[in-house]
Amino acid sequence: MSSIFRGNFALFLKIAILAGITAILSLLAQSAFASSQIAIGTYLVIAVVVLNFTYFTKVSIPLKFFAPGILFFIAFVIAPIIFTVIMSTYNYQTGNYISKDAAIEQVLIRGVEPDASQTTFDLVSGRSADGSYAVLVSDIANQKFFISTENELTYVETGQLTFNEYGVAITAPGFSVTSVDELATNDAYSKIRYKYSDGYYIIIEAQGVGAVFRQSIAYDAKTDTMKNIQTGQIYVDNKRGNFALEDSPETMLTPGWRAPIWFENYTKLVTDSRVRTPLIKVFIWTIIFATLTVLSTFAFGLLLALALNRKMRGRRIYRSILILPYAMPSIMSILIWAGMFDSEFGAINNLLHTHIAWFSSATFARAAVLLVNLWLGFPYFYLICSGSLQAIPSELLEAAAIDGANPRQVFRRITLPLLLQILSPLLIASFAFNFNNFNLIYLLTGGGPRNTLDGEVAGATDILISYTYQIAFGRNILDFGLASAISVLIFFLVASISFYGLRKSKVMETFG
Amino acid sequence: MNKWLRENLWRHAFAVFMCIFALFPLYLIVLSSFNPGGSLQLTSFVPRVLSMENYKMLFSSPKIPFLSWVKNSLIISSAVALSSVVIGAASAFAFSRLKFKGKKFGIQLLLLVQMFPAILALSAVYVIMERVYSFAPSIGLGSQGGLILVYLGGSMGVNIWLLKGFVDSIPAELDEAAKIDGASPVQTYWLIFIPLATPVLAVVCLLSFIGTFNEFIVARLFLVEMSGRTVAVGLQQFIGGQYATNWGAFAAGSILASIPIVIIFLSLQRYIVNGLTAGSVKG
């Protein structure tokens, strides 16, 4: 066996694998740099260097074990966390999503205006004689026909053209028509500005239709300003990711770019009532939800464990049935419950002979969420509690009984305190888990009911994490900046809960 | 008899009540899967018709690429489970058995990062993978390759931590003996540790498989194409989207998709419960 790890074959294998990985990562790094993803490219280069150093030198033996793990860990765990913190200081949202260079490019593309009479032409896309992108334009009103490329405009005699039934020229000598299929896949045709006349050019508006435009916005790199060519208005960088007029800062050019706004996302959480009010509402419900879930699942789990904590008929059958909710993939169970709560066709209303629109009322929706989470969670505490009950030394209980305590007293004075002591880290862990129980809320109620007409982002059953998701992805506007700020806030909340739990368990280890 | 009743009746009554509570949704879903109608309606507790229509629909309807969903889930979950255990086990071994500078810092970092729920960094992962897409579409946003990378990388913290707990529980005497006999750490790892740890690694691998199989939101954000989806995303979209009333096919699909997971889970029950306890208590 050991020869496998020493011989030439092993060395060959090692070199082959490393060479393969090096090649792939280097290629990726190269294309990352080529599309100016400097951070990702740099990380890939560092990864290549680290891997080769680790496995071809004897720098560090432990590194040979954890280098791949750590590289993944940094890339997909640490980097996103750092990136979240960075994004929380930016106005990273729809409208300010791209880099400044890309935004300038977009502003210039959009900074056009139609000519005075808003002329449009029928046209056909294709290639000119020299192979460049071109359009064959029919100015039917003036009976003029021309082939236009980015730099050139050539009139064509009517006699050389063929027309369709609407009088639109469809072929011309030297002009090759591009098929509809190619037009659909190659958007280069529609991105080009085809030459028209002094300062004006033709933009393809829809397939077969072009309109005459001219540039109205120009960028001055020296002063970093945008200028409206016609009116002479100057737009300056407002330091918040947009070009805006100096004397009327509300007038901005779109799109903007992502720009640092430092702690504004955080101060918004406190000062902006449109953010603060729902946040407080959601926070309170999150605490209530997590607390009630832990209490109810623990209570039912414990009661079951107590009920079945003796030799009795059917115990094994009970146990295997009771564990089923825990064994089912939770996604499926949550979706099944969502269907059962359906107001029209759901089984719950059938069973109760009611017509409750469960997910349209805040109270009913919250009750449903708690009930479903009880179903999902009680088997866990049943399993844990029945294990822990067996771990309590029977001498203790017997001694208490001899001293004349009745079963209820034994439970209240001995069993419960001991259990709580053993299980408190798990209760805290369960609280932390439910604090962030995204799947349940998202799949069961979607956070609702939520009055979207009023622009409400936070629904009645939204917990912090689903609210964050809602801000980031759930609406037409993506707001990664604000969502990241809330993420950072949640992290500190959860971290303090967990540290409290840790300290508890440390205490237990010392005394237990 | 009276005494038996007093002592046991409430136990059985409560247990039966909870069993009904536990079974009700599961029974209902089995019932609906055989019911050709489209809702989770409770018309009677006994099936009137036993129809296989819903099951047939899963495999024949061109609108529901159920088989490719299952295939995608299996590929993604197995790839993640296997590679995360292979990479994670080596790291866990180092953190558990080897001495090196910065080990304490590393362990504390792992512990701290564990508390940051992965979903909180979702927008960051999204943006990063969007950028990866701009130069390598096959491993960026929207690709299964990218999804595997995100799962694999994202599971590193928790997995190394979990595996370290398991490695700690394997007695160190054997690999110390090997060390005295002159084995290098690499030899100790392959010849002593891996054979010893194989059962444990298999369990962690299966747990990771279940976890990935159950993941929803990242897959939902990543996989846009209908036939490229995972089972979880596919079935959710199936009832949430344009087929809003088609619970029958959903029921059949979720039963088929759940059975393997339930079987794995029940056979690993002991480890899962112990693992959860051990992980948190040690945490």
Cα–Cα distance, A207 to B269 (Å, whole number): 61
pLDDT value at residue A409 = 87
* DSSP three-state, residue A113: strand
Q: Are residue B117 and residue B16 in the same domain, yes or no?
A: no
- What percentage of chain A carries pLDDT values higher than 90? 47
Asked if the Cβ–Cβ distance from A505 to B282 is below 8 Å, we say yes
* Domain-embedded: residue A243: no
User: Over 60: is that where the pLDDT of A384 sits?
Assistant: yes
Domains identified in chain A, total number = 3
* Domain-embedded: residue B106: yes
Nearest to A335 among B23, B154, B235 (CB): B235
Q: Which two tokens stand for residue A332?
A: 């499926």
pLDDT value at residue A483 = 93
Cα–Cα distance, A264 to A463 (Å, whole number): 23
* DSSP three-state, residue A303: helix
Q: A1 pLDDT band (50/70/90 cuts)?
A: very low
Q: Are residue A330 and residue A427 in the same domain, yes or no?
A: yes
Nearest to A65 among B42, B91, B115 (CB): B91
* Domain-embedded: residue B268: no
- Structural domain of A43: 2-87
Q: Are residue B26 and residue B88 in the same domain, yes or no?
A: no
Asked if the Cβ–Cβ distance from A335 to B42 is below 8 Å, we say no
Q: Are residue B30 and residue B161 in the same domain, yes or no?
A: no
Q: Which residue has the tokens 């004349």?
A: A404
Asked if the Cβ–Cβ distance from B127 to A380 is below 8 Å, we say no
Q: Are residue B16 and residue B138 in the same domain, yes or no?
A: no
Range ranked top by mean pLDDT from A55-59, A482-486, B36-40, B188-192: A482-486
Amino acid at A376: L
- Is some CB atom of chain B closer than 8 A to the CB atom of A512? no
Write out chain A residues lying below 8 Å of B39, CB-based: 339, 342, 344-346
User: Over 70: is that where the pLDDT of A6 sits?
Assistant: no
Nearest to A327 among B15, B154, B265 (CB): B265
Provide ipTM, 2 decimals: 0.87
Distance from the B142 Cα atom to the nearest Cα atom in chain A, whole angstroms: 15
User: Over 70: is that where the pLDDT of B275 sits?
Assistant: no
Contacts of A116 (CB under 8 A, 6+ apart): none
- Is some CB atom of chain B closer than 8 A to the CB atom of A330? yes
Enumerate residues 262 to 321 of chain A having a beta carbon within 8 A of any beta carbon in chain B.
300, 303-304, 307-308, 310, 312, 314, 318, 320-321
Enumerate residues 415 to 474 of chain A having a beta carbon within 8 A of any beta carbon in chain B.
425-426, 429, 432, 436, 438-439, 442-443, 465, 468-469, 472-473
* Domain-embedded: residue B259: no
Range ranked top by mean pLDDT from A43-47, A446-450, B34-38, B272-276: A43-47
List, in sequence order, every residue forming a beta bridge with B123; answer none if it has no partner.
Answer: none
Q: Are residue A434 and residue A505 in the same domain, yes or no?
A: yes
Asked if the Cβ–Cβ distance from A345 to B232 is below 8 Å, we say no
Can you give the CATH number for the domain in which B104 is found? 1.10.3720.10
User: Over 80: is that where the pLDDT of A498 sits?
Assistant: no
Can you give the CATH number for the domain in which A304 is found? 1.10.3720.10
Distance from the B7 Cα atom to the nearest Cα atom in chain A, whole angstroms: 10
Q: Are residue A486 and residue A371 in the same domain, yes or no?
A: yes
Asked if the Cβ–Cβ distance from B115 to A308 is below 8 Å, we say no
Asked if the Cβ–Cβ distance from B157 to A323 is below 8 Å, we say no
Domains identified in chain B, total number = 2
- What percentage of chain B carries pLDDT values higher than 70? 90
Distance from the B113 Cα atom to the nearest Cα atom in chain A, whole angstroms: 8
Query: How many residues are there in chain B?
Result: 283
Write out chain A residues lying below 8 Å of B213, CB-based: 329
Q: Are residue A166 and residue A282 in the same domain, yes or no?
A: no
Residue B212 is classified by DSSP as H
Q: Are residue A20 and residue A155 in the same domain, yes or no?
A: no
Asked if the Cβ–Cβ distance from B125 to A380 is below 8 Å, we say no
Asked if the Cβ–Cβ distance from A328 to B262 is below 8 Å, we say yes
* Domain-embedded: residue B256: no
Residue spans of beta strands (DSSP E) within A200-358: 200-206, 209-215, 217-220, 225-228, 234-237, 243-245
Write out chain B residues lying below 8 Å of A34, CB-based: 135
* Domain-embedded: residue B283: no
Asked if the Cβ–Cβ distance from B247 to A339 is below 8 Å, we say yes
User: Over 90: is that where the pLDDT of A374 sits?
Assistant: yes
Q: Are residue B72 and residue B51 in the same domain, yes or no?
A: no
- Structural domain of B33: 2-57
Give the other-Cβ count within 10 Å of A162's Cβ: 8
Asked if the Cβ–Cβ distance from B281 to A505 is below 8 Å, we say yes
* Domain-embedded: residue A259: no
The whole-chain average pLDDT of chain A stands at 88
What is the tens place of the pLDDT at every residue in B234-256?
Answer: 888 777 655 456 778 888 999 99
Amino acid at A377: G
What is the tens place of the pLDDT at every residue in A214-243?
Answer: 999 999 999 999 999 888 899 999 888 999
Which of B42, B77, B101, B123 has the highest number of chain A CBs within 10 A, making it the mutation to test binding with A? B123
* Domain-embedded: residue B12: yes
Please give the C-alpha separations between residue B239 and each of A292, A431, B232, in angstroms, as whole numbers: 29, 30, 11
Nearest to A307 among B11, B120, B280 (CB): B11
What is the tens place of the pLDDT at every residue in A267-297?
Answer: 999 999 888 999 999 999 999 999 999 999 9
Q: Which residue has the tokens 């765990």?
A: A77
Contacts of A491 (CB under 8 A, 6+ apart): B115, B116, B120
Q: Are residue B22 and residue B159 in the same domain, yes or no?
A: no
Enumerate residues 6 to 65 of chain A having a beta carbon within 8 A of any beta carbon in chain B.
28, 31-32, 34-35, 37, 40, 60-65
Asked if the Cβ–Cβ distance from B91 to A70 is below 8 Å, we say yes
What is the tens place of the pLDDT at every residue in B86-114?
Answer: 999 999 999 988 888 888 888 888 877 77
Last residue of some domain: B14, B32, B57?
Answer: B57
Q: A5 pLDDT band (50/70/90 cuts)?
A: low
Q: B126 pLDDT band (50/70/90 cuts)?
A: very high
Q: Are residue B70 and residue B209 in the same domain, yes or no?
A: yes
Distance from the B275 Cα atom to the nearest Cα atom in chain A, whole angstroms: 11
Nearest to A5 among B18, B117, B187 (CB): B187
pLDDT value at residue A505 = 63
Lay out the sheet containing A225-228: strands in order across: A217-220, A225-228, A234-237, A243-245
Q: Are residue A165 and residue A54 in the same domain, yes or no?
A: no
CB A178 within 8 A of CB A126: yes
- The H or E element spanning position A89 is none
Q: Taking CA atoms, what residue in A is nearest to B185?
A: A61
Which of B8, B40, B101 has the highest number of chain A CBs within 10 A, making it the mutation to test binding with A? B40
Q: Are residue A381 and residue A308 in the same domain, yes or no?
A: yes
Q: Are residue A400 and residue A495 in the same domain, yes or no?
A: yes
Which of B54, B70, B116, B141 has the highest number of chain A CBs within 10 A, making it the mutation to test binding with A? B116
Contacts of B44 (CB under 8 A, 6+ apart): none
Asked if the Cβ–Cβ distance from A66 to B90 is below 8 Å, we say yes
User: Over 90: is that where the pLDDT of B79 sits?
Assistant: yes
